[in-house]
Amino acid sequence: VIGVVIGKTDVRSFPDRKNIGSERYTFNFTIRDSPTYFINVQSWGREEYIRSLSESFRVGDCVTIENPLIQSKEAEREEKFNPVTPSCYKLLLSENHSVVKASPCHEADTRLLSLLHLPVKDPQDYYSLGDIVANGQSLNGRILNVLAAVMSVSQ
């Protein structure tokens, strides 16, 4: 699979249920290879492997993923913490079998780079900041998708 990384989480650790007293490490990222299709990638493993893999690329880089395991996703659980994708699958990276080759996108990959700025949600599924200000009371307690632009950043 070849795609551009459009999102990435930080490395996290969890107690390993199989080896009491040790930890497993994980991080997720999302890749896109067309305007319509993008998929979440999950990686688990030893701290050294996961930290090294996470540091080997960043959002905006093109990656080639070889030998991932394809799994059905548990939509309700997984989409709380990852972008909602159009696929009912996710890719799982294994330290022993999978390879991720990262490189900045080259001119041949300008098609992939243009995908970096496309929204991952339906354009009709957003609220503007004006809508929220005007209808805030009736939206109280709801989870919303917001489409906004950053105008400036300062201290």
- Domains of the chain are 2-115 (2.40.50.140)
Neighbours of 79 (CB within 10 A): 13
pTM of the model: 0.77
Chain centroid to Cα 52, Å, comes to: 18
Question: Is residue 107 pLDDT above 60, yes or no?
Answer: no
Give 82's contacts (C-beta < 8 A, 6+ positions apart).
9, 28, 30, 40
Q: What is the pLDDT of residue 127?
A: 82
Q: Is 14 a residue whose pLDDT tops 50? A: yes
At 10 the pLDDT is 93
User: Which residue, 5, 25, 6, is CA-closest to 15?
Assistant: 25
